[in-house]
A and B are shown apart, each in its own frame.
Chain A
Amino acid sequence: MHTETYPQLIPLVILIPALGAFINIFWGSKLTERVSGLIGITAAVLTFIISVLIFSHLNGHHGTGSVINPVIFQTWLRIDSIGLDIPWQFRVDPLTAVMLLVVTGVGSLIHIYSMGYMHGDKKFSRFFAYLNLFMMFMLLLVTSNNFLMLFVGWEGVGVMSYLLIGFNWDKGGALGWKNSNAARKAMIVNRVGDFGVLMAIFMIFWTFGTLTFYQPGETANVCYAREVNNLGACAEESHSEGEAAAAEGETAAAEGDHSEGETVAEAEGDHSEGEAAAAEGETVAEAEGDHSEGETAEGEGDHSEGETAAAEGDHSEGETAEGEGGHGGEPVVLADVDNSKFASYTDLGVFGQTAHYMSLEEGSPERLVQFGTLALDFKTVLFIIVLFLLLGVAGKSAQIPLFVWLPDAMAGPTPVSALMHAATMVTAGVFLLIRSNVFLDYVPEARLVIAIIGSVTALMAGFIALGQWDIKRVLAFSTVSQLGFMVAAVGLGAYVAALFHLATHAVFKALLFLGSGSVIHGVEHGHHHVHAHGNGPGHGHGNGPDDHHDAHDEHVDEAFDPQDMRNMGGLASRMPITYWTYLFGTFALAGLPFFAGFWSKDEILADAFHEALEGHLLLDNLAGYIVLGLLLVAAGFTAFYMWRQVQMVFHGDPRTEAAASAPESSAWMTIPLLVLAFFSFTVGFVNVPKYTPIFSGFMGIQDYEFKHFLESAIPSVTLKESLAFNTPLALLAVVIAFSAIALSHSIYGGNKAVQGRRDPLHVNRSTRQMWSLANARLYWDEIYFRLIENPYNRLSKFLYEVVDWRFLHDYFHDSVLKAGYDSMGKLLAKPFDLGIIDGTVNGVGALVRLLSGRVRVVQTGYVRVYAVILLLGVVAVLLIMLLPLLQVQAGS
């Protein structure tokens, strides 16, 4: 397999969607709907194929990261005076590959779906151009190798989300305003977050002198992660404590009887390091002598032992320890893979440098970072950087306090919501945190903040989702809630679990949004159908959805809301494909056993539980228990509101004529649904823990395959014990999910879902207040209105009315400027204009007139006068000529 060239294809991942968008932007109006849609779909599918190729390459090589640097962009931004030189570099590592698959895979299906959904829209080609650009910027974000390129993608998805959320700005009337306001809200809220990212980037550059993640050839560093996770010492301690450290590592391996046996053995001698990929139970790999290679203990017997990257031996990736070569002037020599080609630590990327700084003793002058006169310890700086990043993540990934834009963002067409909530945009924030995992490892204090924010967001959004009527708004709050899970997982240090949940959530949330789009589409058509028959027959409807003259806007009057679940009901029989795929999505999201969401959510819960037991964060075990508790309740809410939605939309009797005559959607829309439904069941199996009952060793599933794939991108993963499948915890989660569904069914089952356009929980007195609170979205928007928007508006009104109008306009302009100008003008008008300017011009004229008046009398008009003058002239000339002659004669 000549897969080595595959990562070189990475620039195409950006270029192909850009080309697709380019064609649709400049020639879209001339193309037919089908051609311009196919261009968009082709671009998306091609990038998906490239992503698969890149993934297969990495998968065949145990996820070695490689930095691709196209020569044309060797220097992208360069300012010599401050040493800024940022190349246009791509980073291809397992993290990138997973994100590529998620973005392009889900993105392609959404493109295909849009072909059916946007049918008949007059801005069809523009929509596909935007979709392609949206994907392109997201791909740029995930493939970048430095913070600045990432920021370009970051802002790019922001702009595209603005354009796509407000895509229907031209609907006219209140609806158009609603759409464009939602777009503006997304843009403005994200600006707050982007400020955080920018500040973080500035601080990173100031601290490290570079923005690059990893330099070409540099391997990710695990040395630090041992200390962080109390798993043994690192290289520099081996001088004195080599033996002890080795022993400690051994113990750690031995005692973790269920552990995968990631053990660290330290070597003696300077800068050498033993890396042990342990077999189960016990192992020590020793490295002797200086600069010796790390020994690898190959696990014997069963397959899963040899999982660790280092153990494969064929390749030189996996764990790398960073040497201290930097400050000693010696090259960086490492055990298995060395970064010795870097003469100094300052040549490394930001993450390599972080490990170096943190290995220095606290309080040593080299660890101080100068900010003007302020000298901060490196760790403090890192803490501030991570908090600034968190602000950006709160904006992009919709966490408290900046999540408010996401529920409004569903104003865009449904495929956009699916793309934004699943593959692009909101995942960017979580991705940024996972990418910065080395930073996070060092600052548990910041991770505590992240974990708390994430879990509180998960619970809060899950609660709000209980009380929403809009089918897409329920899903939007569900997204906020699930993003909370991911962020909480990152806060716990469970980066793989976060990424795993991100991937599975992308699949089933895309499925749910596309399913809701299909429902909305169907209800609109049903409504249109009913009205067309009311107005008169003969329109030829009912020949299948594709034959309809689709028009999402024109036939929906203001009073009828096709997204309101109160207008639905009983759609299961009308739209069977949509119904069954929607059920799959619901089960996956609720975390029913063996669906995708079950595995990923369970892994996050297991990590929280682990944290509760071990307590690496602050507050010892308390933080873990808090997070675990919040997430468990949020998981219960998830199952509850999803089943409520299924009941309201699909079960019971139709509540409107529109719902009663809703048709199933076209194949363009149902096929992506089927594909996504398939994957929302199967995708969870990529990361199944080993000791799972039933599944271990079954169907060739390997232990935590996904996790091992990611080792080279998330170095600390290798050093954490792989958690075994925690049966009681999983059972607890499943019981919670099932009982939430059962409770939901008892409340909303049958035709009880909506009682007189009111929710049963609202009808019931005891739960009315709570439901109203959820329905009002906990008054977040109102709070923001009171605290920020209203004061802001009043301030701007004050500035406008008092400062601008009364002071500047009335007083300053009218009184000061205008009056001053008038008096100045008057002052100047007479003496200057009349006196000097006019005087000069008129004076010249008068002078000419005066002089010529004297001369003109010579011109008598009588010929004889002229003759006399002529004669006299001749005589005069003759006299002048002859006079010298006469003088000579007189003299002689």
Chain B
Amino acid sequence: MNVPVEAFVILSMVLFTLGAMGVMLRKNAILVFMSVELMLNAANLALVAFAKQWNDIGGHTFVFFVMTVAAAEVAIGLALIVAIFRHKQSINIDDLHQMEG
């Protein structure tokens, strides 16, 4: 069975768009976080698809880097969210706008 590469790209676009919309629209920090993960994995999917397409090992390799960075991001990001929650009793990101100019 030979799935054309366009299908992977379209799926990746859809996932990325969902992730981006989630980051921009959701207020819950954890959901925003999950959306970020969705965007990362959409990118991963595209990388893998093109690697297969061009028979290039670089794409595969890069996916591992992205996964590692994502894992680290989760570790730090969740810790930040816990800390923010302790401080503010809320993880609504609309409450966090002290950096306003």
Interface of A toward B, CB cutoff 8 Å: 855-864, 867-868, 871
- CA A857 – CA B97 in complex, angstroms? 13
A860's partner among B25, B32, B93, B97 (CB-CB below 8 A) is B97
- CA A861 – CA B100 in complex, angstroms? 4
Measured between beta carbons, the chain B residues less than 8 angstroms from A864 are 23-25, 93
B97, closest chain A residue (CB): A861
Tell me if B3 counts as interface (CB < 8 A to partner A): no
- CA A863 – CA B100 in complex, angstroms? 10
- CA A859 – CA B100 in complex, angstroms? 5
B23's partner among A856, A860, A861, A867 (CB-CB below 8 A) is A867
Enumerate the 4 nearest inter-chain pairs by beta-carbon distance, A residue then B residue, closest first. Answer: A859-B101, A861-B97, A861-B100, A856-B101
Interface pairs (20), CB distance under 8 Å: A855-B101, A857-B101, A859-B99, A859-B100, A860-B97, A860-B100, A861-B96, A861-B97, A861-B99, A862-B94, A862-B97, A863-B32, A863-B93, A863-B96, A864-B23, A864-B24, A867-B23, A867-B24, A871-B20, A871-B24
Tell me if B89 counts as interface (CB < 8 A to partner A): no
Tell me if B98 counts as interface (CB < 8 A to partner A): yes
Interface of B toward A, CB cutoff 8 Å: 20, 23-25, 32, 93-94, 96-101
A868, closest chain B residue (CB): B24
- CA A860 – CA B97 in complex, angstroms? 7
- CA A863 – CA B35 in complex, angstroms? 14
- CA A857 – CA B32 in complex, angstroms? 24
Contacts A860-B97, A867-B20 known; 7 new A-B pairs at CB < 8 A: A857-B101, A858-B101, A861-B101, A863-B32, A863-B96, A868-B24, A871-B24
A856, closest chain B residue (CB): B101
Measured between beta carbons, the chain A residues less than 8 angstroms from B100 are 859-861
Q: How far is the CB of B82 from chain A (nearest CB, A)?
A: 17
- CA A857 – CA B100 in complex, angstroms? 8
Q: How far is the CB of B5 from chain A (nearest CB, A)?
A: 19
- CA A858 – CA B24 in complex, angstroms? 17
- CA A864 – CA B93 in complex, angstroms? 9
B26, closest chain A residue (CB): A864
Measured between beta carbons, the chain A residues less than 8 angstroms from B94 are 862
B23, closest chain A residue (CB): A867
B32, closest chain A residue (CB): A863
- CA A862 – CA B23 in complex, angstroms? 12
- CA A864 – CA B97 in complex, angstroms? 11
B93, closest chain A residue (CB): A863
Measured between beta carbons, the chain A residues less than 8 angstroms from B24 are 864, 867-868, 871
- CA A857 – CA B101 in complex, angstroms? 6
A861 touches B98 (CB 8 A): yes
- CA A860 – CA B25 in complex, angstroms? 16
B101, closest chain A residue (CB): A859
Q: How far is the CB of B38 from chain A (nearest CB, A)?
A: 14
Q: How far is the CB of A878 from chain B (nearest CB, A)?
A: 13
- CA A861 – CA B101 in complex, angstroms? 7
Measured between beta carbons, the chain A residues less than 8 angstroms from B97 are 860-862
B98, closest chain A residue (CB): A861
Measured between beta carbons, the chain A residues less than 8 angstroms from B101 are 855-861
Measured between beta carbons, the chain A residues less than 8 angstroms from B25 are 864
- CA A675 – CA B100 in complex, angstroms? 109
- CA A862 – CA B96 in complex, angstroms? 7
Measured between beta carbons, the chain B residues less than 8 angstroms from A867 are 20, 23-24
- CA A858 – CA B23 in complex, angstroms? 19
Measured between beta carbons, the chain A residues less than 8 angstroms from B32 are 863
Measured between beta carbons, the chain B residues less than 8 angstroms from A871 are 20, 24
Q: How far is the CB of A566 from chain B (nearest CB, A)?
A: 104
Measured between beta carbons, the chain A residues less than 8 angstroms from B96 are 861, 863
Taking each of B94, B99, B100, B101, which has the highest tally of chain A beta carbons within 10 Å of its own beta carbon?
A: B101
Measured between beta carbons, the chain B residues less than 8 angstroms from A857 are 101
- CA A572 – CA B94 in complex, angstroms? 123
- CA A92 – CA B31 in complex, angstroms? 117
Taking each of B20, B23, B98, which has the highest tally of chain A beta carbons within 10 Å of its own beta carbon?
A: B23
Taking each of A859, A861, A868, which has the highest tally of chain B beta carbons within 10 Å of its own beta carbon?
A: A861
Q: How far is the CB of B29 from chain A (nearest CB, A)?
A: 9
- CA A856 – CA B101 in complex, angstroms? 5
B20, closest chain A residue (CB): A871
Measured between beta carbons, the chain A residues less than 8 angstroms from B99 are 859, 861
Measured between beta carbons, the chain B residues less than 8 angstroms from A863 are 32, 93, 96
Measured between beta carbons, the chain B residues less than 8 angstroms from A862 are 93-94, 97
- CA A154 – CA B75 in complex, angstroms? 99
A862, closest chain B residue (CB): B97
B27, closest chain A residue (CB): A864
- CA A862 – CA B101 in complex, angstroms? 11
Q: How far is the CB of A51 from chain B (nearest CB, A)?
A: 98
Q: How far is the CB of A168 from chain B (nearest CB, A)?
A: 84
- CA A864 – CA B32 in complex, angstroms? 10
B36, closest chain A residue (CB): A867
Q: How far is the CB of B86 from chain A (nearest CB, A)?
A: 19
Measured between beta carbons, the chain B residues less than 8 angstroms from A861 are 96-101
Taking each of A856, A860, A864, A868, which has the highest tally of chain B beta carbons within 10 Å of its own beta carbon?
A: A864
A859, closest chain B residue (CB): B101
- CA A856 – CA B99 in complex, angstroms? 11
- CA A858 – CA B93 in complex, angstroms? 18
- CA A871 – CA B24 in complex, angstroms? 10
- CA A862 – CA B32 in complex, angstroms? 13
Q: How far is the CB of B26 from chain A (nearest CB, A)?
A: 9
- CA A864 – CA B95 in complex, angstroms? 12
Measured between beta carbons, the chain A residues less than 8 angstroms from B98 are 861
Q: How far is the CB of A233 from chain B (nearest CB, A)?
A: 118
Q: How far is the CB of B50 from chain A (nearest CB, A)?
A: 16
A857, closest chain B residue (CB): B101
Measured between beta carbons, the chain B residues less than 8 angstroms from A858 are 101
- CA A863 – CA B24 in complex, angstroms? 8
Measured between beta carbons, the chain A residues less than 8 angstroms from B93 are 862-864
- CA A78 – CA B54 in complex, angstroms? 97
Q: How far is the CB of A123 from chain B (nearest CB, A)?
A: 81
- CA A871 – CA B16 in complex, angstroms? 12
Measured between beta carbons, the chain B residues less than 8 angstroms from A859 are 99-101
Q: How far is the CB of B74 from chain A (nearest CB, A)?
A: 17
A860, closest chain B residue (CB): B100
Q: How far is the CB of B90 from chain A (nearest CB, A)?
A: 14
B35, closest chain A residue (CB): A867
Q: How far is the CB of B1 from chain A (nearest CB, A)?
A: 32
Q: How far is the CB of A508 from chain B (nearest CB, A)?
A: 107
Taking each of A855, A858, A867, which has the highest tally of chain B beta carbons within 10 Å of its own beta carbon?
A: A867
Q: How far is the CB of A867 from chain B (nearest CB, A)?
A: 5
Q: How far is the CB of A873 from chain B (nearest CB, A)?
A: 13
- CA A859 – CA B94 in complex, angstroms? 14
- CA A203 – CA B91 in complex, angstroms? 108
B24, closest chain A residue (CB): A864
- CA A862 – CA B26 in complex, angstroms? 12
Q: How far is the CB of B101 from chain A (nearest CB, A)?
A: 3
- CA A860 – CA B96 in complex, angstroms? 10
Measured between beta carbons, the chain B residues less than 8 angstroms from A856 are 101
Q: How far is the CB of A860 from chain B (nearest CB, A)?
A: 6
Measured between beta carbons, the chain A residues less than 8 angstroms from B23 are 864, 867
Measured between beta carbons, the chain B residues less than 8 angstroms from A855 are 101
Q: How far is the CB of A458 from chain B (nearest CB, A)?
A: 107
A871, closest chain B residue (CB): B20
- CA A335 – CA B75 in complex, angstroms? 124
Q: How far is the CB of B96 from chain A (nearest CB, A)?
A: 7
- CA A857 – CA B98 in complex, angstroms? 13
Measured between beta carbons, the chain A residues less than 8 angstroms from B20 are 867, 871
- CA A74 – CA B4 in complex, angstroms? 111
- CA A458 – CA B30 in complex, angstroms? 125
Q: How far is the CB of B83 from chain A (nearest CB, A)?
A: 16
